[in-house]
Amino acid sequence: MRFRMLLIFLLFLVSLEMVSGQYIDPNFAKPTFGYGSDGIYSMEVIRIGDPYFPGEKIEIFHPKGVEGPVPAIFFCHGYGGVFSNYVGGMLQFLVSKGYAVVFAPYPTLEGTIVEKYGILIAGLRLAARTYPDIIDTTRVGFVGHSFGGGAMFGIAYQCFSENEWGQDGRFLFSLAPWYAFELTQDQLTSFPPDTKLLMQVYDGDKVNDHRMAIDLFKNINIPGDQKDYLMVQSDTIGIDVYEADHGLPGTFQVFNALDYYALYRLLDALADYTFNGNEEGRVVALGHGEPAQISMPIGLSPLVHSDQPEPLFDEDHYEFNCSALLNLRREYCSPLVAVREGSDKYGVVVTPNPFQSHITFTWPINTLATHLQIFNLMGQQVYTRQLDPLAQEITIELNELANRQYFFRIGKYLGRFIKIGN
């Protein structure tokens, strides 16, 4: 595997020496009520030797003092994340809300991808078989990050179809997914339609092409009102950086507002809606742009929702792009070409960017674009302008727009720009 992945693995090794994390954020307090606030339960851990990955342990985290099986969430870790404390904050949070969480490692430095999938699913199934008094397999969720975010679709399909898990409620929460294997297009399009899905990507992710997430989101057999797609945005407040990059779910030592408001809050709501039918949970987790879903603490950019997501960057922005030969689903990559501002190699040139009052868009010949559309961060169209199909450039005045970031579409091209004060 590539050097970057080896480096990530070494960082996770170092994390073993770290103590359990705590919430430290100089700007925002963590939620004290509602979704995203800590629950009432303390955590107990059961560890069993993993016969499929000798020398490692399968871990079952569960609420202390709760009798009888509880809804279970099966976590599929990212490449190199074989130690559960890399998502220790998430584990503690979920258990505090009354859920059991199963963490089963798979080897990342040896074996084929198919072997990794086999070891992962075998570990999850072993935990469920061994502890039916803790794990309620009729109410299950799968959460996966990166490699695990792609793997969880094929693994969940097998557990739903072969083991009949999730008959009383099932969800998927995929975070910045890598390529999906062991999953045919027929299986994806025949997925149990009562499954809920939340797909989450990060604007600062330079590892996994968002097209992989878009492919899975668009092709899975889940009704539109039971699935949603969100992008988390990075921010800087003073000297404090809130970086929504590929490693966001792996904050094991210190948690901040991004963890609780952009991740734990949505996961909490998705589980409540799936397992308890709570309509408030649906609005927060699968709200399709409702303020209760996308709002962040004042000072942080809202989450970006889309029912028809498209890529914002060209493929070579990412380390693992969708059309790579390794991706067995490369034929389903989005055909749209994303924009890199300031370079006509990638489509549309935007100048100046940022701009104050007037902005110019220039696009390649034969684009045959009919309209310029501008959207705010909530996906709402705030401006449209008809274009001459034979033109290649337009300059417009946008004084009426507020000072912030916007997205635009010209024909097949997508991009973004920033409005600053006059």
- 40-62 confidence digits (pLDDT tens): 999 999 999 999 999 999 999 99
Q: Are strands 170-175 and 227-232 parallel, antiparallel or unpaired?
A: unpaired
Given a cut of 70, whether residue 335 has pLDDT beyond it is: no
Residue 315's pLDDT band, with cuts at 50, 70 and 90, is confident
Distance from C-alpha of 422 to C-alpha of 265, rounded to nearest angstrom: 37
Instruction: Answer for the pair 106, 170: CB distance below 8 angstroms, yes or no.
Output: no
Instruction: Name 30's Cβ contacts closer than 8 Å, sequence gap at least 6.
Output: 23, 36, 37, 38, 255, 257, 260
* Res 216: pLDDT: 97
> Which of residues 150 and 317 earns the better pLDDT score?
150
Torsion angle in degrees (nearest 10) through CA of 361, 365, 367, 372:
20
Lowest-confidence region among 185-194, 239-248, 412-421: 412-421
> Which of residues 353 and 190 earns the better pLDDT score?
190
Residue 379's pLDDT band, with cuts at 50, 70 and 90, is low
Q: What percent of the chain has pLDDT over 70?
A: 90
Task: Indicate where the chain has its CATH 3.40.50.1820 domain(s).
Answer: 3-306
Which residue shows structure tokens 């939340």? 198
Given a cut of 80, whether residue 250 has pLDDT beyond it is: no
> 346 phi and psi, to 5 degrees?
-105, 5
Instruction: Name 235's Cβ contacts closer than 8 Å, sequence gap at least 6.
Output: 241, 242, 299, 300, 301
Using one digit for the tens of pLDDT, what is the confidence trace for 380-402? 788 999 998 888 899 999 988 88
Instruction: Answer for the pair 166, 191: CB distance below 8 angstroms, yes or no.
Output: no
Which residue shows structure tokens 């991808």? 113
Q: Which is nearest to 231 in space by CA: 250, 204, 253, 268? A: 204
Torsion angle in degrees (nearest 10) through CA of 123, 126, 128, 130:
-140
Residue 76's pLDDT band, with cuts at 50, 70 and 90, is very high
Given a cut of 50, whether residue 342 has pLDDT beyond it is: no
* Res 11: pLDDT: 40
Q: How confident is the prediction for the chain on average, in pLDDT?
A: 88
Given a cut of 90, whether residue 100 has pLDDT beyond it is: yes
Instruction: Name 8's Cβ contacts closer than 8 Å, sequence gap at least 6.
Output: 78, 79, 80, 81, 247
Task: Indicate where the chain has its CATH 2.60.40.3080 domain(s).
Answer: 337-418
Burial label for 99, CB within 10 Å (0-12, 13-18, 19+), is buried
Given a cut of 60, whether residue 20 has pLDDT beyond it is: no
Using one digit for the tens of pLDDT, what is the confidence trace for 193-204? 999 999 999 999
> Which of residues 251 and 193 earns the better pLDDT score?
193
Residue 328's pLDDT band, with cuts at 50, 70 and 90, is very high
Burial label for 206, CB within 10 Å (0-12, 13-18, 19+), is middle
Q: What is the CA radius of gyration of the chain?
A: 22
Distance from C-alpha of 60 to C-alpha of 101, rounded to nearest angstrom: 6
CATH topology of domain 3-306: Rossmann fold (3.40.50)
Q: 240: which 2 tokens?
A: 């404090």
Residue 353's pLDDT band, with cuts at 50, 70 and 90, is confident
Amino acid at 216: L
C-beta pairs of 364-370 under 8 Å, 24+ apart in sequence: 364/392, 365/392, 367/392, 367/410, 367/411, 367/412, 367/413, 368/411, 369/410, 369/411, 369/413, 370/411
* Res 377: pLDDT: 67
* Res 105: pLDDT: 97
> Which of residues 338 and 26 earns the better pLDDT score?
26
Given a cut of 60, whether residue 117 has pLDDT beyond it is: yes
3 state DSSP class of 375 = strand
Residue 248's pLDDT band, with cuts at 50, 70 and 90, is confident
Distances 26 to 187, 241, 250, 267, 282 between C-alpha atoms, Å: 46, 11, 20, 24, 31
Q: What is the mean pLDDT of residues 321-327?
A: 92
Distance from C-alpha of 264 to C-alpha of 92, rounded to nearest angstrom: 11
Given a cut of 50, whether residue 83 has pLDDT beyond it is: yes
Residue 344's pLDDT band, with cuts at 50, 70 and 90, is very low
Given a cut of 90, whether residue 38 has pLDDT beyond it is: yes
Neighbours of 111 (CB within 10 A): 14
Domain spanning 337-418, CATH architecture: Sandwich (2.60)
Instruction: Name 283's Cβ contacts closer than 8 Å, sequence gap at least 6.
Output: 269, 290, 292, 293
Distance from C-alpha of 280 to C-alpha of 20, rounded to nearest angstrom: 31
HEC states along 313-373? CCHHHCCECCCCCCCCCHHHCCCCEECCCCCHHHCCEEECCCECCEEEEECCCCCCCCEEE
The helix (run of H) or strand (run of E) holding residue 213 is helix 210-219
**Most distant CA pair in the chain: distance in Å?**
70
> Which of residues 339 and 293 earns the better pLDDT score?
293
DSSP 75-129: EEPPTT--SGGGGHHHHHHHHHTT-EEEE----SSSS-HHHHHHHHHHHHHHHHH
Q: What is the pTM of this model?
A: 0.79
